[in-house]
Structure 1
Amino acid sequence: MKNIFLIGFDFGTENIGVAIGQTITCTSKPLSCIKSIRGIPNWKKISEIFQIWHPNAIVVGLPLNMDGSTQKITIYAKKFAQELRKKFIIPVNMQDERLTTIEAKSILFNVQGYRGLKKKLINSQSAAIILNSWMQNMN
């Protein structure tokens, strides 16, 4: 099995969580959080991350309501995924991200207490959870 290096995104109109992962061990780790300005991602920062990590594929969280229906942010996340595909010309996958924020908060609280519950840490931890979930569904 070939090792695939991944970058995962937890898209938000103000903050975008970023994580990296790879398929040999099916592990990921939170990387950073990128600010968006008026809903527009900081493409310069995203490009810098791609230049450092050289991923083979991308996974973007798909925000859905608990009943599986779409919401306004779902459309924005899909547009973000399309832009990533155009700009970096590598496969982009969408992964259901329901409950990842709750799971991320739980992980961070267990490790760092209330100090860990910062938005940028939550978003990047959520991106790592999204990557892990996608890798588990791959197998």
Structure 2
Amino acid sequence: MRTIGLDVGDKTIGVAISDPSGLIAQGIKTIKRSNLYNDIQEINKIINSFKAEEIVVGFPKNMNGTIGAQGQKVIDFVEYLKKEIDLPIMLWDERLTTVEVNRMLVESADMRREKRKKVIDKLAATIILQGYLDYKRKSI
């Protein structure tokens, strides 16, 4: 069963997909956001293309566990997504994911800021999805 991972931001949505066995996450795309309808259509194309059966969306909480402005935006996005796409959708705590990706890119790839901005959302979606897949595998 394939799972789609999403890192939803104001300007972009990072997208990752699991392998068919649900073990490994791989970043596939960064969607440049235009409007809610187009964003959902693009996600739906990816779901259909990979025959995904569930969606995991990164949920940005504050460090103390409360839901801030960005967290509320993600909740609103997921509520709209649920109306348009009939698949199970899970929220996954993504605290510090973007920080982790930035650190990885700087340390391992010595990548300039401009290049990091092009791949960071896709990599964040990959880390979110991999965390979910690992958790799911350990829970079985």
TM-score category of the 2 structures, normalised to the smaller one: 0.7 to 0.9
2:2–2:21: 8 Å Cα contact kept in structure 1?
A: no
TM-fit CA distance, 1:35: 1.4
Between the two proteins, the alignment pairs up a number of residues equal to 136
SS, match of residue 5 in structure 2: strand
Change (3 A) 1:39 1:132: same
Give the 3-state SS of the residue equivalent to 2:65 in structure 1. Answer: coil
The question of 1:114 aligning with 2:111 is answered yes
Q: Deviation at 1:9?
A: 0.4
Q: Who is 2:49 aligned against? A: 52
Contact 2:18 2:129 in 1 (8 A): yes
Report the TM-score when normalising by structure 1: 0.85
Equivalence map 1:1-139=2 (5 Å): 4-22=1-19, 24=21, 26-37=23-34, 42-115=39-112, 117-138=115-136, 139=138
Q: Which whole-Å CA distance do the structure 2 matches of 1:86 and 1:35 have between them?
A: 21
1:71-110 deviation digits (Å, cap 9, x = unpaired): 1111111122222222220100010000111221233334
Please give the alpha-carbon distance, in whole angstroms, between the structure 1 residues aligned to 2:105 and 2:66: 28
Aligned-residue offset at 1:47: 2.2
Cα contact 2:3–2:22 (8 A) shared by 1: no
Cα distance in 2 for residues equivalent to 1:23 and 1:80: 26
Q: CA deviation at 1:24?
A: 3.0
TM-score by length of 2: 0.85
Deviation at 1:38, TM superposition (A): 6.5
Structure 2 segments unaligned to the other structure (5+ residues): none
Distance across 1 between alignment mates of 2:37 and 2:69: 15
Task: For 1:58 and 1:125, locate their aligned partners in 2 and report how far apart those are by CA, in whole Å.
Answer: 16
